[in-house]
Every structure is written in C-alpha cells, then in structure tokens.
Amino acid sequence: MKIILITGIPQVDRGVLIEIVMKRLNSPQKELDFVNFDDMSDIMKSIINGKDLSIKQISGMIDKMNDEFEKTVIKAMKKCNGVLVVNCSLTLNTEMGIFPVLSKEFFESFSPELIILVEGFPLELTNKDSEMKAIERHQDINRTYAFAYSAFSHSAIDRLRAKKGKADDAARSITISIRSVVTG
C-alpha cells in the first residue's frame, strides 16, 4: 500500500484538480483510490469559521480532527489494493495564526510515498493586496511544513504552481507524478 498526499492552501482548488486527475487515472481493480479529507472535516470548517477560539481550543480541535483523519485513512486503506490518494491541508489559517493540521504521528504511521504540494500565484487568487500577502504567507508556511514532513518521513515531494484557468496543465503534472508511484 502506497499513499500519495496532495496538499496546498484552500484557494488553489485542489479538489477540482484531483477530480480531473482521478477521472484520468480511474482504475476498476481498486489499484487506486481517493480520500478527500478537506470535504469531510466538519471540525476543520468549524475552526475556520469559529470566532473567539483560543489557541488551546484550536489545538484540541485539530487533535480531534487528526483522530478522525487517521480513522478515515485506515478505513480507505483496507479497501484499496494499491495507491491511496489523500487530499488534505497541511496547515490551517485562522485568526489566531497558522496551525499544522496533520500531526507528526500521521507521517510516522502512514509515511506517504509522495507529497504533491499545489501552490497558486497570489495575484491570480485575489486582487486585494492584504489578501495576497496573507496567501503568500500561508503558502510559505505550508511549503515549509511540506518540506519538513517530506524530510521527516523520507517522502518524495513534488511542488507545482497551478495557474488560474490552466487546471488541465496542473492536472497533467499531478497525473504524471501519481503514475510514477503507481507503476514504480
């Protein structure tokens, strides 16, 4: 069993890219399966939308989310015979700062074969200066976590920039990366 983690900040629309990729890689033998944790996590949504949460409350909610995530991955692994593609944020931008979403224990337990980091160009994601700076900061911190976790878990890392209106190009790059793991 191999795991590929696809990550990036929410503004880059990983879900759209992954939908295109999974259609291209559709495998009826369950050699390839997919878990979209970003869509499933009500805890993540409550953290993002939560006002007046303390750092301790956010940390506790993230711990709970990690438990939910690990159970979901384990359940998906039992059904999959080859490669499991997981869509999940590495970091979460809140009013209190940027928090890591996935724990060190996740990488110890599941040790992804490949981390695909999808980034966007801040100018293409918003036209407001303050939002561009926040997006750039979030991507910088997210990238730092991706490379740290890659080094920690001995995972390969593939970083790509998705251009607005060029989802097919980004999906093609992701497809090539995934195929290299599936066939390698």
Out of 25-29, 42-46, 110-114, 123-127, least confident range: 25-29
Choices 3.40.50.1970, 2.60.40.1150, 3.40.50.300, 3.50.50.60: CATH for 2-183: 3.40.50.300
* Residue in 158, 184, 183, 154 with CA at minimum distance from that of residue 172: 158
**Distance between CA 2 and CA 145 in Å, rounded?**
21
Question: How far out from the chain centre does Cα 39 lie?
Answer: 11
121-160: pLDDT as tens digits: 877 777 788 888 888 999 999 999 999 999 988 999 999 9
Under DSSP, the state recorded for 10 is G
52-96: pLDDT as tens digits: 788 888 888 888 888 888 888 888 888 887 889 999 889 888 888
SS3 for 18-31, per residue?
Answer: HHHHHHHCCCCCCC
What separation in angstroms does the CA of 25 have from each of 111, 160, 175?
22, 19, 7
Q: Taking the domains of the chain in order of start, what are their residue ranges?
A: 2-183
23-34: pLDDT as tens digits: 888 765 567 888
Q: What is the pLDDT of residue 157?
A: 95
Tokens read off for 152: 């920690």
